[in-house]
């Protein structure tokens, strides 16, 4: 599962919801797709999309099966939404925001740890990884990034010589 967004509000009186997502485009969701809503930490409830409309490139207005009243919809507001990797296979390699919790593996140093956050500096994406109890910023540029496997949830990188030393020596 990959976290793709959050339900941020209800819309109207018929149980419609507003889902914000991290994909920068509104073409990945299909009628009948399963959204997994995290009701409590580690507890996911599947909901099937019965209707949807792209509101913006980062937002959908969705209807879910069995949610037909605003009272039912309100229970889902503020909940994180996940989808299975196969729904996003075409988009996951383009959106580093989906890589949170992926394991970073360096060609020289091996397993560096999991991505805790991803930031866009305006010029490039940077992944935050905790390596040997130090926060390391890994640039996600074409020169460093060697591959992303969304099924295994791994990011293969080839870090520049000395990058980890900067963090470990401080």
Separation of alpha carbons 132 and 135, rounded Å? 8
Residue keyed to tokens 């969304």: 150
3-state secondary structure (DSSP) of residue 73: helix
Q: To which H or E segment does residue 167 belong?
A: helix 163-168
Instruction: Give residue 168's pLDDT.
Output: 75
Separation of alpha carbons 152 and 122, rounded Å? 28
Domains of the chain by start residue, with CATH: 2-88 (2.40.30.60), 96-168 (2.30.30.240)
Q: Percentage of residues in the chain with pLDDT exceeding 70?
A: 94
Mean pLDDT of 70-96: 82
Looking at residue 166, the DSSP 8-state letter turns out to be: H
Mean pLDDT of 49-70: 89
Judged against a pLDDT cut of 90, whether residue 164 lies above it is answered with no
Instruction: Give residue 24's pLDDT.
Output: 66
Separation of alpha carbons 144 and 106, rounded Å? 9
Q: Write phi, then psi, for 71 (nearest 5 degrees).
A: -65, -40
Mean pLDDT of 94-107: 85
Instruction: Give residue 91's pLDDT.
Output: 65
- Compare 5 and 92 and report the one with higher pLDDT: 5
Which of 166, 104, 97, 89 minimizes the C-alpha distance to 125?
Answer: 97
What pTM was computed for the model? 0.64
Q: Percentage of residues in the chain with pLDDT exceeding 90?
A: 45
Residue keyed to tokens 């920068």: 24
Q: What is the pLDDT of residues 101-157, one digit of tens each?
A: 899 999 999 999 999 988 888 888 899 999 988 899 999 988 999 988 877 889 999
Instruction: Give residue 26's pLDDT.
Output: 65
Look up residue 134 and give its two tokens. Answer: 């130090």
Separation of alpha carbons 16 and 69, rounded Å? 8
Mean pLDDT of 19-41: 84
Sheet with strand 110-120: strands edge to edge: 134-139, 125-131, 110-120, 103-106, 154-157, 145-149
Separation of alpha carbons 82 and 68, rounded Å? 21
Q: What's the chain's average pLDDT?
A: 87
- Compare 164 and 18 and report the one with higher pLDDT: 18
């Amino acid at each position: 599962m990959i976290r793709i967004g959050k339900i941020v509000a209800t819309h109207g009186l018929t149980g419609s919801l507003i889902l914000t997502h991290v994909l920068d485009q509104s073409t990945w969701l299909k009628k009948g797709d399963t959204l997994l809503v995290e009701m409590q930490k580690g507890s996911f409830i599947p909901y099937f999309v019965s209707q949807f409309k792209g509101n913006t490139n980062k937002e959908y207005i969705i209807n879910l099966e069995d949610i037909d009243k605003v009272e039912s919809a309100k229970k889902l507001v503020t909940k994180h939404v996940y989808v299975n990797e196969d729904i996003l296979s075409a988009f996951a390699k383009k959106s580093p925001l989906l890589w949170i919790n992926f394991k970073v593996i360096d060609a020289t140093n091996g397993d560096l740890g999991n991505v805790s956050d991803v930031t866009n500096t305006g010029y490039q994406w940077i992944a935050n990884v905790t390596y040997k109890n130090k926060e390391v910023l890994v640039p996600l540029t074409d020169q460093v990034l060697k591959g992303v496997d969304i099924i295994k949830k791994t990011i293969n990188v080839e870090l520049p010589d000395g990058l980890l030393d900067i963090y470990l020596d401080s």
